[in-house]
Amino acid sequence: MADKQVKPPNRPPKTPMSRTNKIGNVIVVLLILSFIVYVVLMCTAEPDTTTELDTSTFIEHLEKGHIESFRSKTMNESPDYEITGTFSDAYVGPAERFTLQVSPAAFSLIIETWQDLKRLDDPILVDYDHEAMTTSSLWNIIAILLPILLIVFFIFFFLRSSGGNRQAFDFGKSRARINRGKTTTFKHVAGADEEKEELEEIIDFLKTPQKYITLGARIPKGILLVGPPGTGKTLLARAVAGEAEVPFYSISGSDFVEMFVGVGASRVRDMFKTAKQTVPCIIFIDEIDAVGRQRGTGLGGGHDEREQTLNQLLVEMDGFGVNSGIIVIAATNRPDVLDPALLRAGRFDRQITINRPDIRGRKEILAVHARNKRIDKTVTFEEIARRTPGFTGADLENLLNEAALLAARESKRAIRLYHIDEAIDRVMMGPAKKSRIFSKRERDFIAHHEAGHAVLGTKLENANVVHKVTIIPRGQSGGYNLMLPEEEESFLMTRKALIDQITGLLGGRVAEELVFDEVSTGAHNDFQRATEIARAMVTEYGMSSLGPIQYEKRSGNVFLGRDYSADKSFSDTVALEIDTEVRKIINEAYEKAKRLLTEHMDLLKKIAAFLLEVETLNREDIMEIVDTGKLEWLEKKREKDKAKQEQEDKEEKLTPRTSEA
């Protein structure tokens, strides 16, 4: 049998990049060897024993026969002459060579002296030579530049072999990016008409400044966009970039902050230096709280990177220098932590607050985000907007995207209302956990708990309208009810309306106690929200017997250095009275809920029974149960299922049975 040929292993083909790397490595090695040879030659060279003479001393040595030879040459771009030479054996001294620089007159005197010595009876033999122009200076220059060039080439190839990180050379440069094109305009922004008007005025000022300057108006230096996350601050800035016919630079506040102190300040200087070359222009700083936090409240003293960057930003916006034609637009959702010097007039002249959209704004936002989606004609944006109070623009965009995903999952040709309804639940509470198994007793507890909320929502005068009740678990809850205002969101709440809200929140716990004579942990979140409302009534709104006094104020996240040092504004006695008033409000609402649910126990049990059967009831279903005590569509479904079952039983009886062999 012939021996099998062993195939050589597959090797990747040599690419031009790999050959280039090899050539570069060879060049680097040669440069290193050349540099080593140069250093060795310089170190092993004999020490120079050259002395510098003046004209009279040189002539004296020449007459005494101490000079063996000398050479003269003209200086570059100079009338003087340079003379170099060697001493003879008759000279006694440490030096072997000499050099001197003489004027043309002194040079003539030296040549005459040399010629006189040659005409003597016993002439002194001294070799002399003259060069028209020095050539050794070129070699001197090469000797000086050669090591510098070798070092430069070595660094270049080293950086190239390591990937060529060019950012090392522009570490202090601004990272602001200039935006071009009109990808986003004010047509893409909805639900913020007043905010757009403020920004349109800035754009109009940049386009036609003369009509404002004629009246003595000046362009605002800074505009601060303030609002909760997702309300469209960055979207508005992008729209300004699309509408403005001027250069628009965008940067994030975190791009200024680096590990090395001074880099952020350098980037601020470079950013404004670049912007000054293209005035008029706009600079947008997103999340400015990353660099504009209040000074003197953090750790690290007053010389850390963030504070130096902030100081430089303050100077550039309104310092000794003039930044005419540069408008700074910034966005943040934490204006409470910004430095007061940053917020004063002359820096950020305007603060535009962007709140969560109302029902009209939500309707317009939904229309914008629905442009590229196929939605069923029966779906109205007004109904969706009514079901989504408190949603921001980002939430609404996510809502329609979730609805589109659900419709695509079912291979539907258009998004229907039940897709949007399910998407609302997913955005608010998370996806349904239908695989979670509850025992019969747990389902009874959950059904009566949610039915208690639903009953109080229909019977309380100032309660929100119940739009949906379900016992399908989502997130951490076993079920939930969606209660929305009758018309639109309320900006003012009366004491009676707040009491009714607390009463509605306590309806679940009261229903458990009345039906099962037992309570569960399902009312945890209800108690938390009810306590917050009751405490705000006492300490913030002055709706208790303690009088119209504000004992507490709402604060967001703890701001180090300020919130920790805040003093308590009331005594321990008042604290006890506050707790007593909060408990009194909660107890009154609890008794009110118990009284109402006792009066409408039949309705409570009917809603709970329907929930156990169909799991989800909408607003129309609940109102039908309240009015008639039944669900017409459910009864039709029962009759249809019963008829179908009777037909199946009848067919089974008529079918002959085959006997087994």
Q: How far apart are CA 124 and CA 121, in angstroms?
A: 9
| Among candidate residues 364, 625, 391, the one with its CA nearest the CA of residue 489 | 391
- Residue 16: which residues within 8 A CB-CB, separation 6 or more? none
554 within 8 A of 540, measured Cβ to Cβ: yes
Q: How far apart are CA 59 and CA 64, in angstroms?
A: 9
* Tokens (6 digits) for 467: 């739009």
Q: How far apart are CA 206 and CA 329, in angstroms?
A: 14
| Among candidate residues 268, 294, 265, 293, the one with its CA nearest the CA of residue 283 | 268
**How many C-beta atoms lie closer than 10 Å to residue 564's C-beta?**
9
Q: How far apart are CA 615 and CA 632, in angstroms?
A: 16
Reduced to 3 states (helix: H, G, I; strand: E, B; else coil), residue 658 is: coil
Q: How far apart are CA 326 and CA 513, in angstroms?
A: 66
193-207 helix and 233-243 helix, angle to the nearest 10 degrees: 30
Calculate the CA dihedral of residues 256, 260, 261, 264 and round it to 10 degrees.
-20
Dump the DSSP string for 274-301. Answer: HHHTT-SEEEEEESGGGT-BPTTSSSST
Q: How far apart are CA 274 and CA 267, in angstroms?
A: 10
Q: Residue 105 half-sphere exposure, CB side, CA atoms within 13 Å?
A: 1
Element (H, E) at 81: strand 81-87
Q: How far apart are CA 328 and CA 285, in angstroms?
A: 7
| Among candidate residues 245, 220, 256, 446, the one with its CA nearest the CA of residue 344 | 220
Q: How far apart are CA 305 and CA 295, in angstroms?
A: 11
- Residue 353: which residues within 8 A CB-CB, separation 6 or more? 226, 227
- Residue 161: which residues within 8 A CB-CB, separation 6 or more? 21, 24, 25, 28
* Tokens (6 digits) for 338: 């910004």
For 476, which DSSP code?
T
378 within 8 A of 416, measured Cβ to Cβ: yes
- Residue 477: which residues within 8 A CB-CB, separation 6 or more? 429, 522, 525
User: Which residues have a catalytic role annotated?
Assistant: 450
534 within 8 A of 582, measured Cβ to Cβ: yes
486 within 8 A of 465, measured Cβ to Cβ: yes
Q: How far apart are CA 538 and CA 578, in angstroms?
A: 7
Dump the DSSP string for 365-380. Answer: HHHHHTTTS-B-TT--
Q: Which residues of 24-61 are buried (b: 16+ CB within 10 A; e: fewer)?
A: eeeebeebeeebeeeeeeeeeeeeeeeeebebeebbeb
Q: How far apart are CA 292 and CA 252, in angstroms?
A: 12
